[in-house]
């Protein structure tokens, strides 16, 4: 049986997944370039003409946060920077940021530094 490790989610340090490509356009909008790998993706690419690379366009706040994810800043620090930049527009900051970071991890775009 695994022991539950007490840890504060806000102290976790996110980092971009190795090999994930991304770009920033002239307006500062971030696009993630996700390569569709694996047997099923290959079948879908051939039969259904699905693309080899999917492009995920981040919205304003996501485009602000993504470049800040550097494997050095914890989620708490990212929240401070989001609040400084967006002010009231970002509230509730830590609830929204935690959900956003969770979504990035769930989709395989980030990992957490050990």
Instruction: Give 4's pLDDT tier (boundaries 50, 70, 90).
Output: very low
Yes or no: say if 52 and 45 are a contact pair by the CB < 8 Å rule.
yes
Residue 41: predicted pLDDT: 57
**Distance between CA atoms of residues 66 and 106, nearest Å:** 15
Contacts of 10 (CB under 8 A, 6+ apart): 74, 75, 76, 79, 94, 98
DSSP structure class, residue 29 = -
Q: Give the model confidence (pLDDT) of 20-63 as tens digits.
A: 999 999 999 999 998 767 666 566 556 766 777 788 999 999 99
Domains and CATH numbers, the chain: 12-112 (3.90.930.60)
Task: Centre a 10 Å sphere on the Cβ of residue 39 and count the other Cβ atoms it contains.
Answer: 7
User: Kindly report the CA angle at 36 between 32 and 39, in degrees rounded to 5?
Assistant: 165
Phi, psi angles (nearest 5°) of residue 70: -130, 10
């Amino acid at each position: 049986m695994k022991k539950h490790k007490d840890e504060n989610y806000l102290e976790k340090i996110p980092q971009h997944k190795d090999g994930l490509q991304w770009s920033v356009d002239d307006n500062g909008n971030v696009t993630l370039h996700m390569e569709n790998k694996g047997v099923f993706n290959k079948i879908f690419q051939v039969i259904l003409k699905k693309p080899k690379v999917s492009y995920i366009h981040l919205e304003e706040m996501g485009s602000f946060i993504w470049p800040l994810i550097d494997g050095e800043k914890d989620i708490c620090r990212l929240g401070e920077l989001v609040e400084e930049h967006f002010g009231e527009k970002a509230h509730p900051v830590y609830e929204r940021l935690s959900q956003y970071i969770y979504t990035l991890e769930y989709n395989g775009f980030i990992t957490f530094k050990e």
